[in-house]
């Protein structure tokens, strides 16, 4: 063979051998890849068997505490204040003296009124006796009776004027304000003291028009103060007309406050029961979002496939949340819900969760 053809022939043979070896490797590698795909394991998740139970639905209404009553005690006679037995901030009982105005000549006026009444009574009785004997005209009897009634009216006025020098509490409560001092001069209508009644205390809130039909008088309610106190009370008042600005209705609940430790004006929440329904009690860590952004939980059906269920949170607590949107019995995925998708087959581990860390 000509030497000039040897080198190209060797190169051609080498190229053919290289191409053949590559095809052989590809044909051997393909079954291995297929075998790996077939042996891939199903995703393992952990789940719990959840059973829905009856849950009372509470409407949470923001509001505040208010005193049950408040009265500004005002002077009904004029005069100088001579004593203030009740100090600002102290508790007082019904009828307890708050402010004392100087008597001045009111006691003298009372004595005169008593004397005139006594005299008018004697004159009327004398004329009445003469009338029985036919010795007095009816006109004289009428005049004597009128004089007696006038004297009695003057006596009542004198007694009231003297009594009004002592301004007393109209009910048991707290002296919230005392805007006067001993020696101040009060005119008729001037304020002596502001008395508030804080037992019971009133929890107030505004309920939206869409919910007001579910609120009824006399129903027990709960309350939470911003200070952390938890209260119970009874709905005592529901307004009949809505606020023009908020289109909501005022609701009041009475809460016992015998120790008067609850103060007026504290921000609070009214927990109004508005019905009940079946709901599941779960950890908020079990919640996920689907592709459209809807909140829900993932469950496993009887075919061991994942399902996504939108849910609604109807109540919250320190130990979890209550949700609706699931069947009464549901296998809820609690570990691995973020890595599986609806329709995917899974292996389910129903081993109970033993720690808060596992619960998320």
Locate the domains of the chain by residue range.
43-56+277-359, 60-68+197-274, 74-196
Cα(first)–Cα(last) distance of the chain, in Å?
82
CATH T-level assignment (fold) for domain 60-68+197-274: Elongation Factor Tu (Ef-tu); domain 3 (2.40.30)
Q: Look at residue 179 and tell me whether its pLDDT is greater than 90.
A: yes
Q: Look at residue 276 and tell me whether its pLDDT is greater than 90.
A: no
Quickly list H helices, the chain.
3-38, 106-132, 138-163, 356-359
Q: Look at residue 272 and tell me whether its pLDDT is greater than 50.
A: yes
267: left (phi over 0), alpha (psi -120 to 50) or beta: beta
Per-residue pLDDT at 35: 42
Cα separation, 360 vs 351, in Å, equals: 15
Structure tokens at 191: 């304020």
- Weakest mean pLDDT among 9-18, 92-101, 204-213, 270-279: 9-18
- The predicted-structure confidence for 278-289, as pLDDT tens digits, reads as follows 999 999 999 999
Indicate the CATH number of 43-56+277-359 among 2.40.420.20, 1.20.1250.20, 3.40.50.720, 2.60.40.10: 2.40.420.20
Residue from 178, 199, 202 nearest 265 by CA: 202
- Weakest mean pLDDT among 8-17, 77-86, 321-330: 8-17
Q: Is residue 80 within 8 Å of 102, Cβ to Cβ?
A: yes
pTM: predicted TM-score of the whole model, two decimal places: 0.63
Per-residue pLDDT at 39: 42
Per-residue pLDDT at 319: 87
Mean pLDDT value of segment 347-360: 66
66: left (phi over 0), alpha (psi -120 to 50) or beta: beta
Per-residue pLDDT at 31: 46
CATH, range 74-196: 2.40.50.100
Per-residue pLDDT at 291: 87
Q: What is the DSSP string of 246-299?
A: T-EEEEEEEE--TT--SPTT-EEEEEEEEEEEEEEEE-GGG-EE-TT--EEEEE
Per-residue pLDDT at 11: 60
Q: Look at residue 218 and tell me whether its pLDDT is greater than 50.
A: yes
The pLDDT-based confidence of 316 (bands split at 50, 70, 90) is confident
Per-residue pLDDT at 32: 41
Q: Look at residue 265 and tell me whether its pLDDT is greater than 50.
A: yes
Mean pLDDT value of segment 39-62: 85
**DSSP structure class, residue 353:** P
Mean pLDDT of the chain: 87
């Amino acid at each position: 063979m000509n030497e000039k053809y040897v080198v190209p022939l060797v190169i051609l043979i080498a190229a053919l051998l290289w191409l053949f070896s590559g095809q052989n490797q590809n044909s051997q590698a393909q079954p291995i890849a297929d075998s790996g795909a077939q042996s891939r394991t199903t995703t393992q998740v952990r789940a719990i068997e959840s059973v829905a139970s009856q849950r009372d639905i509470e409407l949470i209404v923001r509001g505040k505490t208010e005193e049950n009553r408040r009265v500004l005690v005002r002077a009904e006679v004029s005069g100088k204040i001579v004593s203030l037995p009740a100090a600002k901030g102290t508790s007082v009982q019904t009828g307890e003296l708050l402010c004392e105005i100087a008597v001045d000549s009111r006691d003298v006026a009372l004595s005169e009124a008593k004397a005139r009444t006594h005299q008018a009574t004697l004159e009327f009785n004398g004329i009445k006796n003469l009338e029985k004997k036919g010795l007095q005209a009816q006109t004289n009897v009428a005049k004597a009776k009128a004089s007696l009634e006038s004297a009695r009216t003057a006596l009542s006025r004198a007694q009231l004027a003297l009594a009004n020098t002592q301004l007393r509490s109209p009910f048991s409560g707290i002296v919230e304000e005392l805007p006067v001092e001993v020696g101040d001069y009060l005119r008729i209508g001037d304020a002596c003291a502001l008395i508030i009644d804080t037992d019971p205390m009133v929890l107030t809130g505004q309920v939206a028009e869409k919910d007001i039909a579910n609120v009824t008088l006399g129903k027990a309610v709960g309350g939470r103060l911003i200070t952390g106190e938890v209260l119970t009370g009874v709905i005592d008042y529901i307004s009949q007309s809505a606020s023009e600005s908020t289109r909501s209705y005022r609701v009041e609940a009475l809460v016992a406050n015998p120790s008067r430790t609850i103060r007026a004006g504290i921000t609070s929440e009214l927990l109004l029961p508005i019905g009940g329904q079946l709901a599941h009690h779960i950890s908020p860590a079990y919640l996920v979002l689907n592709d459209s952004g809807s909140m829900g939980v993932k469950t496993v059906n009887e075919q061991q496939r994942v399902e996504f269920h939108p849910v609604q949170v109807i109540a919250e607590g320190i130990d979890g949340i209550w949700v609706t949107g699931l069947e009464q019995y549901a296998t809820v995925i609690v570990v691995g819900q973020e890595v599986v998708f609806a329709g995917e087959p899974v292996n389910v581990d129903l081993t109970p969760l033993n720690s808060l860390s596992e619960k998320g």
